[in-house]
């Protein structure tokens, strides 16, 4: 679900907010639509402590990317640098998505007011 932005403003204020958003929009080269998940797991050795009430192994970090229903890309990221790069890229993608969502909600409200959406 999308976050709801405040569009109960004057048309002038919405246009100013829109101009600001457009000035901020930037696609960063590391943008990444994915999640970085932390997992602990049991190994294949049945005599290992992890099978006998001991701590599981980990944490392991996986990048997961949902491509379609039932189709998920999953990569194990062992290197700390990979994990950090993933976190940053995911954050950049999320910021871009939020800015686009706010722009979209403003545009819907402007259209409802029968305003022009083009350049002003």
Residues that bind Zn ion (CB under 5 A): 43, 48, 50
Q: 50 or 96: whose CB is closer to Zn ion?
A: 50
Asked if 99 and 21 count as a contact pair (C-beta separation under 8 A), the reply is yes
Q: What's the CA gap between 7 and 11, in Å, rounded?
A: 9
Nearest to 95, CA basis, from 33, 7, 35: 33
Structure tokens at 80: 């700390």
Least distance in angstroms from the C-beta of 59 to Zn ion = 14
Q: 23 or 46: whose CB is closer to Zn ion?
A: 46
Q: 13 or 48: whose CB is closer to Zn ion?
A: 48
Least distance in angstroms from the C-beta of 51 to Zn ion = 6
């Amino acid at each position: 679900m999308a976050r709801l932005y405040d569009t109960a403003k004057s048309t002038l204020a919405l246009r100013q907010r829109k101009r600001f958003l457009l000035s901020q929009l930037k696609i960063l080269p590391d943008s990444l639509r994915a999640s970085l998940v932390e997992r602990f797991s049991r190994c294949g050795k049945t005599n290992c402590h992890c099978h006998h009430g001991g701590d599981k192994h980990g944490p392991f970090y996986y990048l997961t990317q949902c491509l379609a229903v039932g189709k998920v890309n999953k990569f194990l990221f062992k290197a700390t640098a990979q994990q950090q790069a993933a976190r940053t890229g995911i954050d950049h993608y999320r910021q871009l998505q939020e800015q686009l969502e706010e722009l979209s909600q403003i545009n819907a409200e402007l259209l409802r007011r029968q305003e022009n959406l083009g350049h002003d």
